[in-house]
Amino acid sequence: MAKGTFLILVTLLRIVSGADDVSHVSCKGNNTASGVLPPRVLSMVRLLSDYRHNHGIEAIQQQVKARDFKAVCARKWIRNSQFGLGCNLVGNHFGSAASTFLAAVVLDRTLLLIGDADIGTSCEGSVYHKTWTVTQSRLEPLLIEAGCNFFRKNDDYKNALNFVITNPETAKKGKSATRTCGYARSPHPHLIYDDIFNSGVEAFATNKFLSPSAKQRAAVLFSNPIPGLARFESYGFLLRALFGYTNQTISMARAALTGVHDQDGTQHVQECLGTSTLRLRHDSFFTVGVHLRHKSTDEHLIKLYDDAAEKGISLILDKHGHKHGSTAAQKCVLLVASDRAETIVHMEAYAVKVNCIVRYIRRDLNATVTEQQKKDGYEETGPWSAASIAMADLFLLTHSQYFLGSADSTFSFLIGDDVAAHAVLHPAFNTQEQGGVGPLLWVNPVNSRLPADTPLHLTWAWASQTFSASGPYVVEQFYYKLQQSTKDCPFPPSGDH
């Protein structure tokens, strides 16, 4: 990554309602020759701005106020269904919401977020959804007034067209579901789509069933030229437009970054590209985020992950030109999150060896998984599944310039999304100076088919089409390929799926 300082000067014009709006943010500085975001990124910003203008809750309220009920009832909707918006298993919940949002933008449908009450019940005041979003609780009174409430009864949900359906033919082959053929061009008024692992790339990036205008919108969202980064950058922008962090979460991250972030007393937090970010001292520090998801307390597996983390961090440090004992102006900071205390302790010891410092959200490293966590099914997330800590972990690691994540973790995906989106502010990622290499590095999950002493695989970019049999596998890709292989693809039926 190119070194040197860069200053982000932010001009934020707020709309009358006070809502954060990514479209009105101009991130200026020396990150590009022209001093502004590159054209392709500005196109993405404008696309999301236009979407919110046409499909946000204010647009619906204005139609109802004008008694244009026909326009309200003529809207086409898309919603999440499998997951709500809670901060328990947040990678699944927020990842699926971003997928639904992506489909809404590409298909030009009004996004309806269900499960918004989960933010209040499970997020412990750590995060909020942006005021433009259309949630079920805010939408229902408007639809009732317009006389076209589609979403009051369970039957209304059952009649929606889901992207993934049970298919007898694929079930015979050991697969329980497949893509709904022709889903992307269906005229059905109510669609469902909320896959995880950023599967929108498989679903929409090269979907031959899209209309020309939908293909154009998809091209804007997936415009990053560096292989693998479009998958994450697009979701990063979408997530920033959907959710924000509260002062509680920001304060926890600020405490962890004492001495690393700007201490000017007036600009601890900047608004850029739709989210809050602490202003780091890039002239003195560069940051490497590390999130390791173990799922198992087996000592041998923990060692495998630790060894892989060391290998990955070493690659990143070498790429940045950081050497042990170096007196370079920039100091290495490892931002660490994990579901195991052993990993955090190991990272602190390893950091000394490579001349880095470790920062993480403080917690009780002697804590153990509670009986309630086991009862609720969250044992695999470790002893710190409390939303306040998990969301602070997420916010802290979004300040990474490089990121080492776990390829089987949806939580790692959320971090990678934001890191990829934030990378557009740095000159090295607005050009091809990286030689096609982006800021993300992945540790693949342990594969039971390989010998126990096989090192975990590391790859510089998520590119699912090039994964070997030993790598992680995005199940949605298989379903989408089944749709692509269908020669005759009429509109799907609009009945119960």
Q: For the segment 239-269, what is each residue's pLDDT rounded down to a tens digit?
A: 999 999 999 999 999 999 999 987 654 434 6
In a domain, 450, yes or no: yes
Domain co-membership, 170 together with 312: no
In a domain, 10, yes or no: no
- The pLDDT, as a whole number, for residue 1 is 36
Domain co-membership, 314 together with 255: yes
Tell whether the model's pLDDT for residue 234 goes beyond 70. Answer: yes
Structural domains of the chain, count:
2
Domain co-membership, 229 together with 199: yes
Confidence of residue 156 (pLDDT cuts 50, 70, 90): low
Buried b (16+ CB within 10 A) or exposed e, 39-66: eebebbbebbbebbeebbbbbbeebbee
Q: For the segment 452-496, what is each residue's pLDDT rounded down to a tens digit?
A: 555 566 655 444 333 333 333 344 444 445 555 554 555 554 433
Tell whether the model's pLDDT for residue 205 goes beyond 90. Answer: no
Instruction: Among 189, 216, 244, give the residue marking a domain's end.
Output: 244
- The pLDDT, as a whole number, for residue 101 is 97
Q: For the segment 7-20, what is each residue's pLDDT rounded down to a tens digit?
A: 222 222 222 223 44
Instruction: Among 209, 224, 244, give the residue marking a domain's end.
Output: 244
Domain co-membership, 274 together with 225: no
Domain co-membership, 396 together with 347: yes
In a domain, 262, yes or no: yes
Domain co-membership, 312 together with 391: yes
What is the pTM assigned to this prediction?
Answer: 0.85
Domain co-membership, 240 together with 258: no
Give the mean model confidence (pLDDT) for residues 30-35.
37
Domain co-membership, 224 together with 271: no
Domain co-membership, 320 together with 433: yes
**Tokens standing for residue 383:** 């002893």
Domain co-membership, 208 together with 281: no
Domain co-membership, 240 together with 252: no
Task: Return the residue matching tokens 């040197």.
Answer: 4
Which is higher by pLDDT, 444 or 293? 293
Confidence of residue 53 (pLDDT cuts 50, 70, 90): very high
In a domain, 188, yes or no: yes
Q: For the segment 394-436, what is each residue's pLDDT rounded down to a tens digit?
A: 999 999 999 998 877 889 999 999 999 988 766 554 444 444 3
Which is higher by pLDDT, 297 or 145? 145
In a domain, 62, yes or no: yes
How far is it, in rounded angstroms, from Cα 199 to Cα 182?
17
Q: Which domain range does residue 401 map to?
A: 245-472
Domain co-membership, 233 together with 252: no
